[in-house]
Amino acid sequence: MLAIIIILLVVVIIFGPQWWAQRTFKRYSNSQDHIPGTGGELARHLLDRFDMPDVEVEMIEDGGDHYDPESKTVRLSERNYKDNSLTAVAVAAHEVGHAIQDNENEAKLAIRTTLVKFAQRSSQIGSAIMIITPIILVITRSPGASLFFILAGLISIAGASIVHLVTLPVELDASFGKALPILKADYIQEQDIPAIEKILKAAALTYVAASLMSILNVWRWIALLRR
């Protein structure tokens, strides 16, 4: 019974934030007549308002909404780009928040960008190490060497999880330090504020969800290696 409870708690901890974020986005994804423009139009308007005409706004079919500081591009999913829902405008404002961070040369965004690149490479390297470890064992017939590679691989994968958690303050600032004040000042009605706050929180927590999924990946490798 205790084992079942522990498993359920782990499942809730790992999948809970992702489930809640997706549920929140979907809940407020219906078009709103009182919102005059789409997420894509709002993003373009805000970028021009904050003197960032060189930052592009693109619609993407695959991948999540994000701001790319290297190409200076706000990328929105098709639905958030085309719709005038609360989710669309909140997510668009959140990504423009990252563009504002970049435009103001905020060090925390630069650190976050570097860390995210590190997380991606670390996860890839870790997975590659875990895949070649059985081959190393066959070639060397050395349990010590295999253990070294296993630990190196797990540490590399786990590093991605830690990085995502470290970047959370940057996400919270994009949502509540940048996007929310802008939206409350000019672009949403007072009755929409509670919903907008939930959506912005969900947008900030997407990296926490990614972090927890990375932890699940580590767990999966450990379970595989124990067989």
* 24-48: pLDDT as tens digits: 999 999 999 999 899 999 999 999 9
Q: Is pLDDT at 213 greater than 90 in this prediction?
A: no
Structural domain harbouring 172: 2-225
pTM of the model: 0.77
Q: Is pLDDT at 161 greater than 70 in this prediction?
A: no
Domains in the chain, number: 1
The more confidently predicted of residues 11 and 203 is 203
Q: In this predicted structure, what is the pLDDT of residue 111?
A: 81
Q: Are 98 and 115 in contact (CB under 8 A)?
A: no
Show the tokens assigned to 217: 């990946």
65 Cβ contact list (under 8 Å, min separation 6): 75, 76, 77, 80, 91, 92, 94, 95, 203
Which amino acid does the sequence have at 206? T
Over the stretch 174-188, which tens digit does the pLDDT of each residue have?
999 999 999 999 899
The more confidently predicted of residues 65 and 142 is 65
Sheet of strand 73-77: strand arrangement = 56-60, 73-77, 66-68
- Residue 132: half-sphere exposure toward Cβ, Cα within 13 Å: 12
Write down the mean pLDDT value for the chain.
81
DSSP reduced 3-state for 69: coil
Show the tokens assigned to 1: 């019974």
Over the stretch 65-84, which tens digit does the pLDDT of each residue have?
999 999 999 999 999 999 99
